[in-house]
Amino acid sequence: MRLVILDWATMTAHEDLSPECFRPFADEIDCYSLTSPGEAAARIGDAELVLCNKVPITGEVIEACPNLKYIGLFATGYNNVDIPAATARGIRVCNAGSYSTNAVAQLVFAFMLDHFSKLPLYNLDVRQGKWCTSPTFSYFPYPTMELAGKTLSIIGFGSIGKAVAKIADAFGMQVLVSTRTVPAHAPYPMVTLAEAFARADVLTLHCPLTEDTSQLVNAIRLGSMKPSAILINTARGGVVAEHDLAEALNNDIIAGAYLDVLQQEPMNPDTPLRHAKNCVITPHIAWAPLETRQRLLGIVTDNLQHFLAGNPQNLVN
């Protein structure tokens, strides 16, 4: 049994994780740091098992790899795999869900606290000696605000949306939820998208990228928001129309945006958001804490073990 790992570099920083956990499941393991789309078929070759994060496994790749029986993903999303082609060949595809809930919710509140508490600005002023020359004991030229009482609109109410709502409760925020599937006995007011945008002090996105949610955040919806509101996106970059958001920020339609995802990753240097006013961008790090990646690696390992035992789990197809 041969196992190929196509993009291990997406899983580790400073070698803080090891692929050795897969050693018991294959006679031969080929582990590549990164693999370009054009290299995938040749590297998989006669292997029965493949693991990847973002490498495209197209119908052409599947056709060129006659022994392939299993595709395991270091991710929840699986849009990089041609699922119909895999299904037609009897190849099982398994993903890893719900591993990053705590980490993503944590980053959402890091973004909120950055905006409302202004810590970077105050830290910079202190380092520049401005507190030393303050005429009063407390130096606060930058307005700060409490989260308590602010309205948080959550778009999408899966595991991450629920975790964000729970933390918001602890801060005393007023939570609104807009979601495609309304849960029974919903603990928060369920509102339309229009109402979620209009009432939000903070609007945070936790929905998948689908035909219905593509460019969900556009000029019209941004124009309906409070000028004091901020947008947070830790979901998928394609949920936001980037040009529209840049225009809204540069024209003070909304007060700010915090983005951990973009339409193109790594970031296109020409994206209009790169130099937009009051726009904080992090390089897709919400899922990256060590504990989160350890949890992900455990799920992927468990998925592979279950497949080889004839009892596959977390099946996509």
Which element (helix H / strand E) includes 244? helix 242-250
Residue 82 near residue 57 (C-beta atoms within 8 A): yes
pTM to 2 decimal places: 0.93
284 a catalytic residue? yes
User: Which helix (H) or strand (E) element contains residue 155?
Assistant: strand 151-155
* 134 phi-psi bin (left φ>0, alpha ψ -120 to 50, beta other): beta
Q: List the one residue out of 253, 205, 230 whose CA is nearest residue 145.
A: 230
Is residue 295 annotated as a catalytic residue, yes or no?
A: no
Across the beta sheet with 70-73, what order do the strands follow?
Answer: 28-31, 2-5, 49-52, 70-73, 92-94
The closest alpha carbon to 85, from 93, 95, 94, belongs to: 93
Question: What is the distance, to the nearest Å, from the Cα of residue 48 to the centroid of all Cα atoms in its chain?
Answer: 30
Is domain 101-281 in CATH 3.20.20.10, yes or no?
no
Give the whole-angstrom CA distance, residue 120 versus residue 189: 34
Q: For residue 174, which phi and psi values (nearest 5 degrees)?
A: -95, 115
- Cα 224 from Cα 230, distance rounded (Å): 12
Radius of gyration of the chain (CA): 22
Eight-state DSSP code of residue 217: B
Catalytic residue among 89, 92, 274, 284: 284
Q: Where are the domains of the chain?
A: 2-98+290-308, 101-281
Comparing 2-98+290-308 with 101-281, is the CATH topology the same?
yes
Q: Pick the catalytic residue from 199, 236, 293, 295.
A: 236
| Of 39, 146, 265, 291, catalytic | 265
* Fold of the 2-98+290-308 domain: Rossmann fold (3.40.50)
pLDDT in tens, the chain (317 residues): 999 999 999 999 889 999 999 999 999 999 999 999 999 999 999 999 999 999 999 999 999 999 999 999 999 989 899 999 999 999 999 999 889 999 999 999 999 999 999 999 999 999 999 999 999 999 999 999 999 999 999 999 999 999 999 999 999 999 999 999 888 888 999 999 999 999 999 999 999 989 999 999 999 999 999 999 999 999 999 999 999 999 999 999 999 999 999 999 999 999 999 999 999 999 999 999 999 999 999 999 999 999 999 999 999 99
